[in-house]
Amino acid sequence: MSASLHAKIAAVTGGASGIGLASTEAMLAAGAHVVVIDRDAAAVEGLCAKHGSALTPLIIDLLDPAQCETLLPRLLAAVDHIDIFHSNAGTYIGGDLVEAAADDIDRMLNLNVNVVMKNVRAVLTHMIARGSGDIIVTSSLAAHYPTPWEPVYAASKWAINCFVQTTRRQVFKHGIRIGSVSPGPVITALLADWPEEKLAEAQAAGTLIEASEVAQAILFMLTRPRHVTIRDIVMLPSQFDL
Q: Where are the beta strands (DSSP E) in the chain?
A: 9-13, 33-38, 55-59, 84-87, 133-138, 176-183, 232-235
Q: How confident is the model at residue 2 (pLDDT cuts 50, 70, 90)?
A: very low
Per residue in 72-120, pLDDT tens? 999 999 999 999 999 999 999 989 999 999 999 999 999 999 999 999 9
Which one is catalytic: 85, 153, 158, 163? 153
pLDDT over 90 (residue 200)? no
- Is residue 145 flagged as an active site residue? no
Per residue in 201-238, pLDDT tens? 777 777 788 899 999 999 999 999 999 999 999 998 88
Residue 40 and residue 20: Cα distance in Å, rounded? 13
Q: 38 φ, ψ to 5°?
A: -160, 155
What are the structural domains, with CATH classification, of the chain?
Answer: 9-235 (3.40.50.720)
pLDDT over 70 (residue 65)? yes
Q: pLDDT value at position 198?
A: 73
Which amino acid is located at 182 in the chain?
A: S
pLDDT over 60 (residue 3)? no
Question: How high does pLDDT run on average in the chain?
Answer: 92
Contacts of the segment 186-190: beta carbons below 8 A, 24+ positions apart: 186/18, 186/19, 186/210, 186/211, 186/214, 187/211, 188/17, 188/18, 188/19, 189/17, 189/18, 190/18, 190/90, 190/91, 190/92
The number of beta carbons lying within 10 Å of the beta carbon of residue 63 is 15
Residue 137, helix vs strand vs coil: strand
Q: 42 φ, ψ to 5°?
A: -65, -40
Contacts of 68 (CB under 8 A, 6+ apart): 60, 61, 62, 115, 118, 119
- Predicted TM-score (pTM) of this structure: 0.91
